[in-house]
């Protein structure tokens, strides 16, 4: 995440964006509810109740769903608090972003869940905008790795990855079923979203 203003001479391919967050999004009960609402809209899941530890965060249609952010070992809310206006280079390495998702997977895989079937939903507030809707060999290779290490291995029933675009959209990937659903966010009060504010060599 880069929160600086672009300087003269920056490459034309950089895209300037802004992140909008719902009020009180830093509160655990708020951001968990937002993520589940997005899952419900994309997958038509019906929540029966919140989980009681050692259950995961939600129980829905007999399935336990644990919710987390794609962040490093630092506190997730500290990571989210650092987001702001930024600039995105589509040609930049995705290694850091992939590492954050791997960290979320590893962290949640270490927990014990009492539900018979548990899935993991990861809200990826990361600069993976070009992964969201288009085609990417790197993305598909990474998804195959997740399926092998966490789904086929029986750690999670499925992994839901929520990836943002720069058009007020989120794309929900169900890695077990290899499905992708698009969500258009009309109001930032419903869910966070990213939007382009300027393109080119100068900041907006």
**Residue pLDDT, tens place only, 87-129:** 889 889 999 999 999 999 999 999 999 999 999 999 998 889 9
Per-residue DSSP letters for 16-42? EEEEE--TTTTSHHHHHHHHHHHHHHH
Query: In a 3-state reduction of DSSP, which class is residue 182?
Result: strand
**Residue pLDDT, tens place only, 145-195:** 999 999 999 999 999 999 999 999 999 999 999 999 999 998 888 888 899
For residues 100-114, b (16+ Cβ closer than 10 Å) or e, as one string?
Answer: bbbbbbeebeeeebe
Which residues, 6 or more positions from 187, have their beta carbon under 8 angstroms from its beta carbon?
none
Domains plus CATH for the chain? Answer: 23-82+91-187 (3.40.1540)
Cβ of 33: how many Cβ atoms within 10 Å? Answer: 17
- Biggest alpha carbon–alpha carbon distance for the chain: 56
**Per the structure block, which two tokens stand in for 127?**
């600069």
């Amino acid at each position: 995440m880069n929160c600086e203003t672009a300087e003269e001479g920056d490459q034309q391919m950089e895209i300037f964006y802004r992140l909008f967050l719902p009020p009180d999004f830093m509160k655990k009960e708020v951001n968990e509810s937002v993520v589940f609402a997005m899952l419900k809209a994309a997958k038509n899941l019906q929540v029966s109740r919140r989980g009681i530890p050692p259950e995961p965060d939600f129980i829905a249609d007999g399935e336990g769903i644990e919710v987390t952010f794609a962040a490093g070992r630092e506190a997730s809310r500290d990571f989210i608090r650092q987001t702001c206006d930024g600039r995105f280079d589509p040609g930049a390495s995705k290694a850091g972003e992939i590492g954050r998702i791997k960290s979320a997977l590893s962290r949640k895989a270490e927990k014990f869940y009492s539900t018979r079937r548990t899935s993991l939903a990861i809200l990826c507030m990361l600069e993976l905008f070009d992964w969201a809707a288009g085609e990417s060999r790197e993305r598909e290779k990474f998804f195959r790795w997740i399926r092998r290490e966490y789904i086929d291995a029986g750690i999670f029933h499925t992994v839901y990855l929520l990836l943002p675009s720069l058009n007020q959209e989120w794309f929900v990937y169900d890695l077990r079923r290899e499905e992708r659903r698009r969500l258009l966010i009309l109001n930032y009060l419903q869910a966070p979203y990213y939007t382009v504010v300027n393109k080119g060599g100068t900041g907006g």
